[in-house]
Structure 1
Amino acid sequence: MATTEKKEKPKKVTPLLELPKCSKTTPSPDPDEYGDMITVVVGSGEEMRKFYTYKGLLAHYSTYFKAALKDEWREGASKTVELKEDNPEVFKAFFHWIHTGKLYFALDASGKIPLSQMLICEIFVFGDARGSPDLCNTAIDVLLQKTHQEWRVPLAEAPYVYQNTLPGSALRKFLVDDAVETYRFERLSDPSQREHELLRWPQEFLAEIVVAFVALGSTPIPSSAGYGTLSYNKNNWVTYIKPLICSRYHDHPAPPA
């Protein structure tokens, strides 16, 4: 008698969290100002990739490219920029963003954001280093959406973030806030795991978490109400965090005089 295999039910994926639009996003450039085509060579060896885009787009969204592509510099004259130390996957997201306003083309087949939390952190760092605050703001938004989908605090990414950002960084602030608001630090209460846990995270990160907890005092964390019921806790976190995104995590540089 033939046996009927039980089909596994597909895992339920959290729908993409809709975020309020930032009113201070840099407007798109006039297509008449796109200018010449530029070649950007990213990475080295077998990982090297070439991207072709407009000078005006690069300069509009990045102060680094705006300076590098001046006619008097070698890159501007040759219409080629080399970024040998950069990750091609990071630049691919930047390339996609300057053309579409999004870091990726579409959600994957399961409905998830097709970027890892680490890659999103790398995109933020790239934007920070290349003078592109709007890219950083977009990376923060996508990291928040990814965190909501996975319901995972990006703690493993903390060492990379603290090695590649400065104090006061919005990305550092998000990691600290997310840890304080939604993580329970159960392993720290276990003496056999405490030392390992303390060594895996940057000391600055731990210090900022302590400061954040002290600042709370006896005030409950709004997003933690109903802890123990995952969906309820997630809903509280979303309600709490949405109004704070733009003011707390976005960089809005003053317009040029």
Structure 2
Amino acid sequence: VHKELLTAASPFFAAALNSTFAEGTNQAVTLPEEKPEIFEWFLQWLYTGSLTIPHANGNHQGSPKYFLLIDLYALSDRLLTTPLSNQILTTIARLSEATNSVPTPSDTWILYDNIRENSPLRTLILDLFAYKKTDKLLETHKDEWHPKFLRELVVKLKRPGPEAIERHRLEAWRPRSWSCTRACEGCKDTLKPGSSADKCVLCEKAFCSECL
């Protein structure tokens, strides 16, 4: 692999190969935990600038093998290759739309065990499930979904949409003490004293910043 390409695309490799540590001295970086096929996919992107989906990237039902893209995203996130990460997000969104599919239960375990919290990929997949109204799929699927994924999806589904928010006349509000606080109308989390929130001047319903 050409060093110039690696260091230009990846701050991770740039820091490692230009350091005074063993990696910089030996001009070699070992990634023992990475899957060879996923790293080869990364190299394909590195040399072409495009993300080509393998023809075999589908299961027996014809749905995309999202776990491969999730694995590639995890690698890209560790290597700090933001352009690749963004391409993966776009690819997953397009595949989901084109095939009318969403990731499987086993995919959610990879997503929540291997992908960092607050990652754009987690947000995207939650959005896909919420948009496609997959509540029946969740109830009838025989495999087990990651429990944290289910909790975050339930919270997202309960949050009010833009139209519901627009019906309120909101103003900035902070609960001064536990006695005057209340639960967010969207996610139902209790608003802690001193936390930033908004409250409707008419009905006095409150919303946390994440639900607005």
TM-score with structure 2 setting the length: 0.65
Q: How far apart, CA to CA, are the structure 1 residues paired with 2:76 and 2:135?
A: 31
Change in 2 beyond 3 A, CA 1:69/1:89:
same
| Paired letter, 2:155 | V
Residue number in structure 2 paired with 1:119 = 68
Structure 1 position 180, deviation (Å): 0.6
- The 1:92/1:103 distance shift into structure 2, 3 A limit, reads farther
Q: Which runs of 4+ in 1 moved over 6 A?
A: none
2:41 aligned residue: 93
Q: Structure 2 matches for 1:53-64, cutoff 5 A?
A: 53-64=1-12
1:207 matched to 2:207? The reply is no
Asked if the contact 1:59/1:66 (under 8 Å) is kept, the reply is yes
Could you say which residue in structure 2 is the equivalent of 1:169?
119
* d(CA) in 2 for partners of 1:94, 1:159: 22
CA deviation string 1:55-75 (max 9, x = no partner): 121112212111110252222
Aligned partner of 2:125: which letter?
L
Partner of residue 77, structure 2: 128
Out of 135, 140, 143, the residue aligned to residue 89 of structure 2 is: 140
Q: How many Å separate the matches in 2 of 1:94 and 1:72? A: 26
1:107–1:85 distance in 2 versus 1, CA, 3 Å: closer
Per-residue CA deviation, residues 157-206 of structure 1 (Å, 9 max, x unaligned), is 111111112221111101100001114322556xxx58x66xx1122211
Task: Confirm or deny: 8 A CA contact 1:155 1:175 kept in the other structure.
Answer: no
* Secondary structure, aligned partner of 2:30: strand
Structure 1 residues 74 and 176: alpha-carbon distance in aligned structure 2, compared to 1, 3 A threshold: same
Q: 1:147, 1:134 → 2: CA distance?
A: 20
Q: Distance in 2 between matches of 1:171 and 1:206?
A: 16
Aligned position for 2:186? none
Q: CA RMSD in A?
A: 2.9
Measured after TM superposition, the shift of residue 207 of structure 1 is 1.7
Give 1:1-257 correspondences, 5 Å limit.
53-104=1-52, 108=55, 116-156=65-105, 157-186=107-136, 200-216=144-160
Residues 168 and 70 of structure 1: CA distance in aligned 2, closer, same or farther (over 3 Å): same
Deviation of 1:121 (Å): 0.6
Q: 1:146 to 1:75 in 2, by over 3 A?
A: same
| Number of residue pairs the alignment of both structures matches | 158
Q: Is the 8 Å Cα contact of residues 127 and 135 (structure 1) preserved in structure 2?
A: yes
Contact 1:153–1:178 (Cα < 8 Å) also in 2: yes
Q: CA deviation at 1:83?
A: 1.4
Could you say what secondary structure the match of 2:134 adopts? coil
SS at match of 2:104: coil
- Distance (Å, rounded) in 2 between the aligned partners of 1:107 and 1:119: 10
CA separation of 1:84 and 1:158: change in aligned 2, threshold 3 A: same
Report the residue type matching 2:77 in the other structure: D
Query: Structure 1 residues 149 and 211 mapped into 2: Cα distance closer, same or farther (>3 Å)?
Result: same
Q: Counterpart of 2:80 in structure 1: which amino acid?
A: G
Counterpart Cα distance in 2 of 1:206 and 1:75: 41
Deviations 1:97-150 (A, max 9, x none): 11111122x7639xxxxx731111111111111222222111111212222333
Which segments of 5 or more consecutive residues in structure 2 lack a partner in the other structure?
Answer: 57-63, 165-212
Larger relative CO (CA 8 A, sep 6+): 1 or 2? 1
Greater mean alpha carbon deviation, residues 145-154 or residues 95-104: 145-154
* CA–CA separation in structure 2 for the residues paired with 1:188 and 1:148: 19
